[in-house]
Structure 1
Amino acid sequence: MQGLILRNAVKPDAQLAVALTAKSSRDVLGQIGSLMVRLAASDEELRAAQKLRYDIFYREMGASHADPSAMEERDSDRFDAVCDHLLVIDSTLPGSTCDQIVGTYRMLPQDMAGTAGGFYSEDEFELGALVARHTGRRFLELGRSCVLPAYRSKRTIELLWQGIWAYCRRHDIDVMTGCASFPGTVPAAHAEALSFLHHFARAEGAWAVRAHEQRFSTMDLMPAEAVNMKAALAALPPLIKGYLRLGAKFGEGCVVDRDFGTTDVLVVLPVEAISQRYLSHFGAEAERFAA
């Protein structure tokens, strides 16, 4: 989950007001009962999302990334200024909208990645080479996903995907990608799950992508015939399992991120590969918000 060292970095504080001023009620992307998903519409809402990320990544998960924003109990980096920030809001909670944010997901469209000097995941994976092989396709990088413990349910996941799909439709996205994480910094602790992804869900051909050689850790930790499918699927983190069900494939090699205490894999999900079953499930409602 470590950030990219930028070649042409933008300064978040100088960009936030411009990046968020245009947000409005049009940015609502989905709703299920009292839960709504929409884009952050102000600097205040973005800071609330960064505070939520801090609470989960630093307090709950034990991240130790040395960033000045941590002194303010926020998780932020230079990418925040050029990203769209998906918020899950529970309108039944007391307080302002900022007090009602229970989940967030960060989205970096390809055109804005160019402004930032590249994608966040390029620090770990050879994503630039993958994008270069697919000229004319619009990539969207997803990351910094987190939800409060009380809201880690199927309902919230469905709402997030409703919002992501509406966003993809609105912005003509062709490919979704981004890092997803296993807890801990010892890949061998996830030998069966990582081996399953390597043998049975690896991106190949035109979609093949590898971790950078200097950061590469093998996912081929068990022979294919030794992998217990049921056990491997059960051992996958919920987010990775969700991507897999949608039809995603994964890059070759994982990366240990010691700052965040995670083992990262790269998700590759062309829109045409999304399972029709899931499009039928959340896509129809999302179309209402995509216009």
Structure 2
Amino acid sequence: MGRRRFKRAGLAGRFQPAKVYGRIGPLEVRLARKRGEIRRAQRLRYQVFYEEMSATPDALAILSRRDEDAFDGVFDHLLVVDRGNENDGRRWRRAKVVGTYRVLRQEVADLYDGFYTQGEYDIAPLLKAKSPDYSFVELGRSCVLKPYRNKRTLELLWQGVWSYVREHGADVMIGCASFPGINPEAHALALSYLQHYALAPEEWRVRAHEHLRVDMNMMPRDAVDVRAALKALPPLIKGYLRVGAYVGDGAVIDHQFGTTDVFVIMPVEAIKARYFDHFGAPDALVAQVQGEFAPLN
């Protein structure tokens, strides 16, 4: 997707105290409020996507060692930070960014150039069909530093996402999630499982643009070993499905990031009730925390 220029719409809290959505021990999830915090998130993304995974950096990314695009100025940025190194007894240090998500509300996307995922999927019919009764929020660029890839960090990231969604009254979460590599055949079992068992109902279905679309129906339904397929799913996609998400029609190869993408649709009304017990009901008020923490129950 080509670069686009935007006015800077993110950094919703840059002149306000940190908006903290949750804490577990030294880890804290909050919204970025300074450009420096976004740059640290971009460096984390570079480390994960370009150094650890197989994304291909352009000259600017190589020089800056940051993953950045024009959409960063429009999205809000959720950060998981490790505050354990802020004070080592000798001097103050900046909290370390160890996880991130970027999130874009529909009302902000409409002011600029739409959602990022519309470059791969034809989402306009869905947005039109669900307007004005449903408001959407897009999730993307999720990553966690390798030593922190555990249940605690992932729960904290989800707590941040869910609190943000409730705070802004969003009804649907959308975004792309990825399989490693650009050979869809290597993921034939998992993609076929998504096609047969997780495809969105017609009213929620989004289709990949025809010139990009890879058919996920690589194996007949009766040939899919469900247990093996679930094991083969990337953890993020598996987590979305557990909550109650659907996937769109067709996969897309992202050559820049070296991934095979699928579209994820998560209507709040489809989220399984047991997750409300853990993270809070949709209509619950979100604490605006300053100096205290929002517990994970």
Flag whether TM exceeds 0.5 (same fold).
yes
What residue ranges of structure 2 are gaps of 5+ in the alignment? Answer: 289-297
Alignment match of 1:119 (pick from 109, 115, 120) = 115
Q: Where in structure 2 are the equivalents of 1:147-158 lying within 5 Å?
A: 147-158=144-155
Bigger proportion of residues as helix: 1
Hey, what does 1:100 align to over in structure 2? 96
Distance 2:265 2:95 in 1: 33
| Partner Cα separation in structure 1 for residue 59 and residue 105 of structure 2 | 24
Question: Aligned-residue CA RMSD in angstroms?
Answer: 2.1
Determine the structure 2 residue equivalent to 1:263: 260
Structure 1 residue 110 and structure 2 residue 102: aligned? Answer: no
Separation (CA, whole Å) in 2 of partners of 1:23 and 1:106: 19
* Equivalence map 1:152-231=2 (5 Å): 152-231=149-228
Q: Is the 8 A contact 2:200 2:248 kept in 1?
A: yes
Answer whether contact 1:215 1:255 (CA < 8 A) is retained. Answer: yes
Residue deviations 1:184-240 (CA, integer Å, cap 9, x gap): 001110011000000110012210110000000010010000001100000000100
Work out the number of aligned pairs and report it: 283
Question: Which SS does the other structure have where 1:263 is aligned?
Answer: strand
> 170-179 or 89-98: which moved more?
89-98
**How far apart in 1 are the matches of 2:169 and 2:191?**
32
1:37 aligns with 2:29: yes
The one-letter amino acid of 2:125's match is A
Residue of structure 2 equivalent to 1:46: 38
Decide whether aligned partners of structure 1 residues 98 and 131 sit closer, same or farther in structure 2, where only a CA change above 3 A counts. farther
- Name the amino acid aligned to 1:21: R
SS in 1 for 2:138: strand
Task: State the match for 1:21 in structure 2.
Answer: 14
Classify 1:4/1:127 alpha carbon distance in 2 versus 1 (closer, same or farther; 3 Å).
farther
Give the match's secondary structure for 1:220. coil
1:144 matches 2:141: yes
The alpha carbon displacement at 1:70 in A equals: 3.6
In terms of mean alpha carbon deviation, does 167-176 or 157-166 score higher? 157-166
TM-score normalised over the length of structure 1:
0.91
Q: Alpha-carbon deviation of 1:112?
A: 1.2
Identity of aligned residues (%): 51
Amino acid of the residue matched to residue 126 of structure 2?
Answer: L
Is there any run of 5+ residues in structure 1 with no aligned partner, and where? none
| 8 A Cα contact 1:195 1:219, kept in partner | yes
Instruction: Indicate conservation of the 8 Å contact 2:45/2:67, yes or no.
Output: yes
How many Å separate the matches in 2 of 1:203 and 1:4? 29
Corresponding position: 1:252 with 2:252: no
In the aligned structure 2, how far is the partner of 1:288 from the partner of 1:150? 33
Cα offset, 1:18, TM superposition:
6.8
Q: Distance in 1 between matches of 2:251 and 2:151?
A: 27
Secondary structure, counterpart of 1:260 in structure 2: coil
Q: Which residue does the alignment assign to 1:130?
A: 126
CA contact (8 A) 2:24 2:156 kept: yes
Residues 264 and 18 from structure 1, CA distance in 2 versus in 1: closer, same or farther, beyond 3 angstroms? Answer: closer
One-letter amino acid of the structure 1 residue matched with residue 43 of structure 2? K
Q: Identify the residue that residue 283 of structure 1 maps to in structure 2.
A: 280
Q: TM-score, normalised by structure 2?
A: 0.89
- Aligned residue type for 1:225: D
Matched residue type, 1:87: L
Distance 1:165 1:68 in 2: 33
On the 8 A contact 1:39/1:86 being kept in 2, the answer is yes
Contact kept in structure 2, 1:23 and 1:40, CA below 8 Å? no
1:44-84 deviations in Å (ceiling 9; x for gaps) = 11111111111111111121142624420111111111111
Give secondary structure in 2 for the equivalent of 1:179: strand
